[in-house]
């Protein structure tokens, strides 16, 4: 079965299922993964920081609260905290006008914020495919630990 | 900033967008007809308030290949505009505009032609808004992205994401020989929402 994760959404996955988010742009798809139990989860975050925004009830929307909530969810599903590793993808800059504008650099800031949160939580980041200027569809396979990244006009990348 | 969460201003703002959609699409249709030198018809545009998770579906899936033209808005209000059509539709428009000189794919010439089309269409909407509000509003030079719908839409979605969990868009259907489904997403900065509503006398 393929478990779907939408924009500002998260889900957990294990066994022979896979977990997918389609059409990632400036958002980041962060996977937490226990290589032994195979329990995994993915969060699709849109914005770097929940504390600077008043409408912050949806935890999956933000890098800081999203990664923390995903950690709780995978542990509740049987992952072991000390074995968890992370893989991330996304954070593209889709348009190049006004590159100084913080809203357009949000991809880069999302990637930084996810990394910062992972390091705070002491989760090792083992692979990433981030930045650049194109959209990505990302699918994670818990059985093999492979994170598949597809983009228009590009070959499948596995990290 | 008292009551300016998107939820509080949305109902009024949807009405504004609906009116804007009508006038704007009317202007755009006239401009397109003269640019393409053919008869162009328009249906009544629809304003849609969608949850993030439903945004992909309306466009034919998150992975649907689309062309998006992104412009900044400057003047009395600030913000951004995204004009979005499916790639095959964009190519149809460009080919028609270039009168047979298009290559059948999105090279530099075709991109430049599409920027011109998006300038005309967004200009038509901004003129409508400018006339309604008596404000001076003008667009910056557009930038194109040819990519998956979800990826392109992440840009305005993130901007809306600061205020809530929905995205507001105008869907306008224009047809010449084929149906042209164009999506028009305007994201004023939060202070500009207030200015627009004030200018229209909807808030004091």
Count other Cβ atoms within 10 Å, centred on residue B60: 13
pLDDT of B2: 43
B123 touches chain A (CB under 8 A): no
Task: Please check whether residue B148 is in contact with residue A22, taking contact to mean a CB–CB distance below 8 angstroms.
Answer: yes
Residue B6 tokens, joined: 């998107």
Which pLDDT value is given to residue A98?
57
Q: Binning pLDDT at 50, 70 and 90, where does residue A103 land? A: low
User: Is residue A97's pLDDT more than 70?
Assistant: no
- Contact: A23, B153; criterion CB under 8 Å: yes
**Closest among A90, A56, A30 to B154, alpha carbons compared:** A90
Flag whether pLDDT at A77 surpasses 90.
yes
By Cβ distance, the residue of A47, A98, A152 closest to B148 is: A152
Q: What is the C-alpha to C-alpha distance for residues B86 and B88, in angstroms, rounded to an integer?
A: 6
Going by pLDDT thresholds of 50, 70 and 90, the confidence category of residue A104 is low
Of A31-40, A86-95, A146-155, B85-94, the poorest mean pLDDT is in B85-94
- Of the two residues B189 and A120, the one the predictor is more confident about is A120
| Residue B35 domain-assigned (yes or no) | yes
Shortest Cα–Cα distance, B79 to chain A (Å): 11
* pLDDT of A58 higher than 90: no
Q: What would the pLDDT profile of A123-140 be if each residue is shown by its tens digit?
A: 999 999 999 999 999 999
- What does pLDDT average to over chain A? 92
Nearest alpha-carbon partner for B173 in B1, B3, B9, B28:
B28
Size (chain A), residues: 159
Task: Give me the CATH number covering residue A6.
Answer: 3.30.1330.200
pLDDT band at A18; cut points 50, 70, 90: very high
In this predicted structure, what is the pLDDT of residue B187? Answer: 81
pLDDT for B92 equals 85
pLDDT, residue B61, reads: 85
Chain A segment 127-156 residues within 8 A of B by beta carbon are 133-137, 152
**How many Cα atoms sit within 13 Å of B147 on the Cβ side?**
30
Mean pLDDT of successive 10-residue segments in chain B (204 residues)? Answer: 54 76 81 80 78 78 91 88 88 82 80 90 86 87 92 88 79 75 82 81 73
Q: How many domains does chain A have?
A: 1
Chain A within 8 Å of B9 (Cβ-Cβ)?
Answer: no
The parent domain of residue A74 ranges over 2-158
Q: Do B52 and A6 touch (CB under 8 A)?
A: yes
- CB contact, 8 Å: A58 with chain B? yes
Please answer whether residues B133 and B196 qualify as being in contact, where contact means their C-beta atoms are separated by less than 8 angstroms.
yes
For position B7, what pLDDT does the model report?
A: 60
- Average pLDDT (A79-105) is 83
Among B149, B157, B163, beta carbon nearest to A46: B157
Residue B61's domain comprises: 6-199
CATH number of the domain encompassing residue B134: 3.40.1550.10
Spatial distance between the Cα atoms of B181 and B195, rounded to a whole number of angstroms = 30
Q: Inter-chain contact B63–A47, Cβ cutoff 8 Å?
A: no
Which of the residues of A are catalytic?
A: 27
Q: Is A97 within 8 Å of B142 when comparing Cβ atoms?
A: yes
The count of structural domains within chain B is 1
Residue B1 belongs to a domain: no
């Amino acid at each position: 079965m393929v478990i779907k994760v939408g924009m500002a959404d998260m889900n957990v996955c294990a066994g022979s299922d896979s977990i997918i988010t389609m059409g990632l742009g400036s958002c980041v798809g962060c996977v937490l993964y226990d290589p032994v139990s195979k329990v995994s989860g993915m969060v699709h975050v849109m914005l770097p920081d929940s504390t600077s925004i008043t409408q912050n009830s949806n935890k999956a929307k933000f890098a800081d609260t999203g990664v923390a909530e995903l950690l709780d969810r995978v542990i509740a599903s049987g992952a072991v905290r000390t074995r968890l590793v992370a893989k991330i993808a996304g954070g593209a800059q889709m348009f190049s006008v006004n590159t100084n504008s913080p809203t357009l650099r949000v991809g880069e800031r999302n990637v930084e914020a996810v990394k910062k949160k992972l390091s705070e939580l002491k989760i090792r980041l083992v692979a990433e495919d981030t930045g650049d200027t194109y959209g990505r569809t990302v699918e994670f396979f818990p059985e093999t630990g492979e994170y598949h990244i597809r983009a228009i006009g590009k070959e499948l990348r596995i990290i | 900033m008292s009551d300016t969460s998107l939820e509080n201003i949305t109902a009024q703002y949807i009405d504004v967008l609906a009116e804007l959609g009508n006038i704007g699409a009317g202007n755009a249709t006239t401009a397109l007809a003269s640019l393409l030198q053919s008869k162009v018809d328009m249906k009544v545009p629809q304003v849609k308030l969608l949850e993030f998770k439903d945004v992909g579906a309306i466009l034919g899936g998150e992975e649907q290949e689309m062309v998006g033209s992104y412009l900044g808005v400057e003047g009395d209000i600030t913000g951004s505009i995204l004009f979005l059509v499916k790639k095959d539709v964009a190519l149809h428009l460009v080919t028609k505009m270039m009168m047979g000189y298009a290559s059948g794919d999105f090279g530099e010439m075709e991109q430049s032609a599409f920027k011109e089309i998006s300038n005309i269409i967004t200009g038509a909407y901004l003129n409508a808004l400018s006339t309604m509000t008596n404000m001076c509003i003008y667009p910056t030079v557009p930038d194109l992205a040819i990519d998956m719908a979800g990826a392109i839409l992440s840009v305005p979605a993130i901007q809306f994401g600061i205020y809530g969990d929905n995205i507001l868009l105008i869907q306008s259907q224009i047809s010449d020989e084929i149906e042209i489904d164009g999506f028009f997403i305007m994201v004023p900065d939060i202070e500009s929402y207030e200015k627009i509503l004030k200018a229209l006398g909807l808030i004091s």
